[in-house]
Each structure stands twice: as structure tokens, then as C-alpha cells.
Structure 1
């Protein structure tokens, strides 16, 4: 049997339409941005069903591609750093080493059209995410530092037999998940507005803010203590993982929240959130499935948005990275011998402590001793890392094909213990989690009664 492969048909470079003088500048990177240079690009994509009443599929695809490219060009007018490239400036006397985004003389964002002889069911029906999904994204295994020579944004549109997958790879040193989905939401808004060819400054709901945040005592650009990128860039190869989606209905999550708050032994019996309760379940279940020694340390890390925690808060539209890893730690035995509420309260306490003072302190510590995050770095504790957010507007994006039937991610930034959160397609507070585990751990998790009793059967049909 011949295994289907993704065939690239065409490739274009898309520049911002109506490029104005404001984009002819250098965009300085913050500590939050620079720390991501050795991580992978963000890779998320939307799977759409082709319209049911197509008379001419070829004409539909050609029209779709032209409209996507045109609206992408208009969107880049607002998100112009994505059409640039990273640049490193070095001097010897005095010694300096800085990394920034050069918005001048860039080639633009990459736009790829590809085909795959598979159906939507071939992608969504298997229990595990098929390996072919990784091929639905460009920049496979690229790290953010590669943005010196590779586009900071690459869109791959893959035509399936009965669907279309729009995969977006965006440089994580330039933006975080909040900025990423603001870009996708804006692109969808502009696409649906169907502006005329001579228009470029199309009104949008959430205008990105490109003034990067630096502490008052920090004058950009940030000078790094390096002489060559080999000192802080590494290439991570993930082990063979099983990747599987688990659906949690709003009703199931509400039960978890009620249970966590009742078990937390705290006078305020409703302060533990739904997501903290679900995260505690995942932390305990994955740790149990890995059969770790009871004396070993274990951590649960949540990707927290700094914007609302700062004083004054950064706007939601702030374009760039503004995230921090909030962490709760204990020993395996203590985690498993206590109940769900105990674990959820530890996570709640960690989130509550993450305020303006803690954000500023972490930035100051980084500036004194810059650290570039490394995938696969040896750790003294087993880590469950929960990233992305079910609050992101993923299913509100339509590109002439109605609501997406699913969201999928690429190879990027996955390792044993990684969990990616998404809103459930039916909304209402439902959540989908993508778990990445070694095969033996996934098999154990699938037999975990506490975990599987909370997993729901999705009622969404594509």
C-alpha cells in the first residue's frame, strides 16, 4: 500500500500591501522574546470542509488561494514585523551582541499550496494524531533563530479530497499565542470583508500594538553575553511519541471544578477555576501513568499570560511575547496520595502568586543573567507542561468554508509530558487537550479510571 504524501504545488512570497513608513524600522526584542530563540515556531492549523455544492473544484481552490493571498497581504499591513527577518548585530569594541527584527528589505511571508490524497476522516478518525499532520506545516523542526534566513511567517494551504487545511507556522521569538490568534482572527476578518484590490488599510477589531515593553531601567536593544549563536542554540529531536486528543465537555469540567473545590479544605469553596481543576487531573493522571518513583519531584507548569497581571496591564493587542511559566512542585508520592483538590489548590496558589511584582522580578533576574530556553534540557523533576489556552478564538475563523471542523498542531515544541489546550468545537466551556506521551505512558493513561471517567465523547460531527 502506497502511503499518501503531501505534494507542494506552488510557493509565493507575500509582502504587506500598502507598506507605509511605520514599518520601515527595526523591532527590538524583549527578554520574553529573546528567551524563545532556541524553541520551535508556533504551528497551529485549521481543518475545513469543502463546500458541499461545488460545481468546479479547481475554480474553487484557485479562487480560495487568490483570496487568501490577497487578504494575507492586507493583514501583514497591520502585522508588518511578520514579513521581516531576524538580524544579529555584533561589535567588538565595546563588545555587543543584539538580536532584533529587521522590517526593511524583507522578502515577505511564505505562502504554499499543497495537495494530499486523504480525507478529513483519515485525519480525524484515528485514535492517535496521524504522523502526516506534521507535513501540513512548513518550517518543520525549525527553531526561531532560523528566522535570520527563513520567513518569520509561513502559511501552508493543503487541499484534501474533501477538505482544506490552513497551517500557520509563526516565529515564537516574535509573538506568543495571544498575538498568534489575534493575527489569525484578523486575517479571517479581512478575508470575510472581501476588500477591493486597491484597498489596504482595512478597519480591524483589534489593532496590534507594536511598541514592545521594556522595564523602565532597560534601554533597548538588549545586549546579550554571547559571541556566537552556537552558544545558545540547540536542535531538539523528540522521541517517538503518541499524540492523542481528549475531549472534556462543559458538564464534565463543572464536575471536576466542584470536586476540586470541595476537596481543597479551603474556606473559599469556589475559587479554584475550571482550568486549574482540569490541569490538576491531568498532572496527577500523567504522573501516575508514568510509574515514577514516589521520591521523585514532579512539576506542573502552566503558560500564563502576563498582560493582565501587570500594573498597568498591557493591552490584549500587545504584539509580542508576554508569557511566563507558572509552576507547582511536589513529590510524586505526595501528589498521588492526596486528592484532586490538594493538587488543584497548589496550582491555584501558583497562579495567584503570579502578579506584577513577580513578573518584574523574573524580568530583572533574566536581564542580569539571560537564559535561552532549550527543548529537551535535562531536568531534576518530571514536568507536565500545559500550553496554549481554551480562551483563544480558534473556531471563530472562517475563510469562505464556514466553521473549521478541527484544530491541529505540528511537530513544534512537543516532548513527553507536553499538553496543548484548545476550546472544544461546540463551545460552552468545553475543552480539548492534546497529550504527547511516550507510548507506554499513553497506554497506561488510557487505562486510568479517574482520567477516562472525566473524558467525554464529542458530539460534534464533521
Structure 2
């Protein structure tokens, strides 16, 4: 695709329509799971819509006004997203606490941009075109930057025949469950045609923090200055491609995995994950005795006691790892790999969450990346269970979902529901160029897509 440049037309700060109550001014302290990822980039996800036909009569100014007004009304319920992070330090006793300060609430950033490309330019390109990254704001921000940058930035990019709505959200305060909760609520408010009052939403968020019983309600980091833990790194550019699994292809894959492992416990997602683990590991051609990992992001809400609903707003995800050697992964079949993933997920229960949190309190810290491509690691993030395509803004169902530049890695896989529904899935695979070429020729992988 010919190189094109996004033109930023305007920027606004959008604040909550109403000040709900005194409670909206109270600090919201980051939990251990949230503090641990201060060095990760903002999470970036968005939806591509076709302009209404005939699109030449489409009023972008009226649409942007409606988006901004409904965003302001939605922020009345999701008011912390309009705030900023703050750090409270003291020496005696030592304390270094990071929290969301709703008193400092400059608003959510709202960007309008244009670009001279079509939907076809985006969707028919073999690789995800680099221009998609410019559909998102805050490309190089890390979560700790939320002290000075907005916790949420929305960029609306007008294409020749389409509209892309991209969100960059501070990952410390919103995992995928929470981000799509917000997007769903915003879409609901947009479509409700509310008047001057505050609209009612079907799923109000809960900002009450989950803290393990017996642990400090205000987690404290062992630092005196941010330079002791902040790390920024630039990863190499990878090839990114989307691969579509129809519901029929997934059903076949799931049946094969269950038959080979002599069980009925393997889920569709676990079967697809096992396929990706095997095929991506194979094309990287690492020594057969070396260790290989399949890392999966897990939603902890339902695993704690008492369980939390998905209305709990925050970052409550954890990474679990299925581990074996390259030789064992290649020698055994799909079902063996899928069962290993299934057991890893099943074993991540409340006791596992409790051990992880207690370990953090004994040795609190912040995750650091080294920027070096990991071989033999497959990292599966996001979820095909997120209701991405239920988010409509008067434009009908989105034609595609895409992600930004943030948090990409060799062997990274981002999962999406298929646009046609019915249990289909889209997978965005991120690899070094030579491995991507090999993956597209991998017999097991290509045959599973049919």
C-alpha cells in the first residue's frame, strides 16, 4: 500500500457530564496486579466502520458532536478515566504509593483525524499496514505516563469510505474486559438518544478495589524515585497478519484435540491456542531440547472468593504458562498440547491467585522488559469472547477490529471474535519476517484454516 499520512484535524478534552457524588473524589489505589505493569504500553484496540451509504452525504461534524456528547455522558459512570495518576511519597515511615486521583480530572483526550485511504486498503493488504498504527494516539506511552497523559485517548480517523474509532487506554486501570465494558457502555449511551439527564446504562462499573484479605489495602512500592523502576524499550518491527478461523474449522479443530486427548474438556479457544503454540514454535526452528512456553492472559475475576463480576473495572488479568520442550511439543499431537493448556488454565484457581498476590507483597516490584525478541514463546492475549462487534455507534456493525503498535512481540497472538459471529475467530499473529513466511507454508497451520 502506498504510504499515507494521517492528518490530525482537532483535539478536545472531554470531561464527565455530571459530578456524581463525593465518592468520585476519593483516591483509587492501584492493586499489585496494576502496579506490576507500570512499564507496559497503553492497550490499543479499535473498530473499523463503513460510512453510511451514500457516504458522500455523511456529516462527520454531526457524528463527532454526537460521539463527544455521548462520551461525556458515559464518563459520568466511568469518571476515573478522565483523571490522572498521582504518587504520594513520604520518608518516615517509608511510603511510595501510586493511585488514581479523581480530583485531578482534566478529561479524556478526543482526537479527530483524516487519511486518504479506503477500507479495502486496510483489509486487503497481506500484512497489517503500518498506517493502522497511526489510527491510535499515545503510541509510545507506558502506563506510568498516566501521571501526565490522559488515562484514555480516543482517536476518530475518517477514511474515504470509513470511520475508525481507536482507543488507547492505560493498561494499569483497564484490561480487555474493562476496556470493552467501557466501549459497550459508550455505544449504549450513543444509541439511547438520551436528553439532558444522565443516561442509565445496563452495566454500571464497580471501582471498589479487590484486595486479598489480610494484605495492606494501600499497596506500597519499595522505591524513592520513578527512575528506580521505569524502563522504556523499543521492540523490533514485526510482520503482523490476520488469520481467520471459521466456526466449522474451529469445530473440527476442537473435535480433533478432544479425540487425541481422550476427553471432552478442551475448549475451542484452547484448541486454537494449542495449534498456534505448535505451529509458531515449529517455524522458529529452535533446538529440540530447549524449553517452549505458551503464555495466556487469564481473567482473575471469577477465580477469587467471593468471585467478582466482569463489571469490576480495573486490570485484573494474569499471565499463566504452559511449559514443555520443543521436542515434546513437536512429537506429541494437537490434543496433547491442548490438554497441557487446559490443565494450566484449570490449575489457575483462587489458591494460585492468592499465592501470586502474597508473593508480590513479600517482594513488591514492577515488571521490566528487555526489548529482545523471545524465541520459543507464544503469548496469547485478548479474547474472542469480548463483545467487540456489539459496539455500534449509529454506523451498523463494524467491518473489522484492529490493534495498535503497543505491546507487540515476536510470537504474540491477539484473539478476536470473527466478524460473522457463530463462534468464529480472528487471530492477529506477530512474528519476525522470516518466521511469518514459514508460518504461511506450515502444513498443519494452513490445513486447520480450511
- Residue number in structure 2 paired with 1:52: 53
Post-superposition offset of 1:16: 0.4
- In structure 2, the residue corresponding to 1:426 is in which secondary structure? coil
Post-superposition offset of 1:54: 4.2
Q: Deviations over 1:3-58 (max 9, x none)?
A: 3200000000000011122211211111111111100111000000000134634x
- Residue number in structure 1 paired with 2:356: 362
- Residue number in structure 1 paired with 2:18: 18
Quote the Cα distance in structure 2 between the aligned partners of 1:384 and 1:434.
Answer: 12
Post-superposition offset of 1:367: 1.3
Post-superposition offset of 1:218: 1.9
Quote the Cα distance in structure 2 between the aligned partners of 1:297 and 1:451.
Answer: 21
- In structure 1, the residue corresponding to 2:414 is in which secondary structure? strand
Rate the CA distance shift 1:92–1:286 in 2: closer, same or farther, 3 A. same
- In structure 2, the residue corresponding to 1:246 is in which secondary structure? strand
Quote the Cα distance in structure 2 between the aligned partners of 1:312 and 1:216.
Answer: 11
Rate the CA distance shift 1:334–1:93 in 2: closer, same or farther, 3 A. same
- Residue number in structure 1 paired with 2:237: 240
Post-superposition offset of 1:375: 3.3
- Identify which of 225, 228, 233 aligns with 1:231: 228
Rate the CA distance shift 1:184–1:327 in 2: closer, same or farther, 3 A. same
Rate the CA distance shift 1:292–1:55 in 2: closer, same or farther, 3 A. closer
- In structure 2, the residue corresponding to 1:395 is in which secondary structure? helix
- The answer to whether 1:71 aligns with 2:65 is no
Aligned pair count reads 449
Quote the Cα distance in structure 2 between the aligned partners of 1:239 and 1:357.
Answer: 37
How does 1:346-385 map onto structure 2 within 5 Å?
A: 346-376=340-370, 382-385=376-379
Rate the CA distance shift 1:309–1:24 in 2: closer, same or farther, 3 A. same
- In structure 2, the residue corresponding to 1:318 is in which secondary structure? coil
How does 1:310-389 map onto structure 2 within 5 Å?
A: 310-376=304-370, 382-389=376-383
Rate the CA distance shift 1:218–1:27 in 2: closer, same or farther, 3 A. same
Post-superposition offset of 1:380: 8.7
- Residue number in structure 2 paired with 1:459: none
- The answer to whether 1:42 aligns with 2:43 is yes
Rate the CA distance shift 1:296–1:25 in 2: closer, same or farther, 3 A. same
Quote the Cα distance in structure 2 between the aligned partners of 1:157 and 1:120.
Answer: 14
Q: Deviations over 1:146-195 (max 9, x none)?
A: 00000000000000000000000000001111011000000000000021
Normalising by structure 1, what TM-score? 0.95
Normalising by structure 2, what TM-score? 0.97
Post-superposition offset of 1:219: 2.7
- In structure 1, the residue corresponding to 2:390 is in which secondary structure? coil
- Identify which of 237, 258, 263 aligns with 1:261: 258
Post-superposition offset of 1:447: 0.5
Checking the alignment, whether the CA contact within 8 Å between 2:84 and 2:104 is kept in structure 1 is: no
- In structure 1, the residue corresponding to 2:281 is in which secondary structure? helix
Post-superposition offset of 1:382: 2.7
Quote the Cα distance in structure 1 between the aligned partners of 2:345 and 2:56.
Answer: 53
- Residue number in structure 2 paired with 1:162: 161
Checking the alignment, whether the CA contact within 8 Å between 1:299 and 1:381 is kept in structure 2 is: no
Deviating more after overlay: 210-219 vs 405-414: 210-219
Q: Deviations over 1:67-94 (max 9, x none)?
A: 0000000111111110010011111111
Quote the Cα distance in structure 1 between the aligned partners of 2:351 and 2:239.
Answer: 39
- In structure 2, the residue corresponding to 1:188 is in which secondary structure? helix
Rate the CA distance shift 1:380–1:4 in 2: closer, same or farther, 3 A. closer
- The answer to whether 1:110 aligns with 2:109 is yes
Checking the alignment, whether the CA contact within 8 Å between 1:297 and 1:381 is kept in structure 2 is: no
Quote the Cα distance in structure 2 between the aligned partners of 1:94 and 1:56.
Answer: 64
Post-superposition offset of 1:371: 3.0
- The answer to whether 1:220 aligns with 2:250 is no
- In structure 2, the residue corresponding to 1:37 is in which secondary structure? coil
Checking the alignment, whether the CA contact within 8 Å between 2:221 and 2:365 is kept in structure 1 is: no
- In structure 2, the residue corresponding to 1:453 is in which secondary structure? helix
Deviating more after overlay: 376-385 vs 224-233: 376-385
Deviating more after overlay: 371-380 vs 410-419: 371-380
Q: Deviations over 1:264-294 (max 9, x none)?
A: 1x4xx21111111110000000000101111
Q: Deviations over 1:398-432 (max 9, x none)?
A: 11110000000000110101100000001010000
Q: CA RMSD in A?
A: 1.4
Give the gaps of 5 or more residues in structure 2.
none
Rate the CA distance shift 1:112–1:381 in 2: closer, same or farther, 3 A. closer
Deviating more after overlay: 48-57 vs 243-252: 48-57
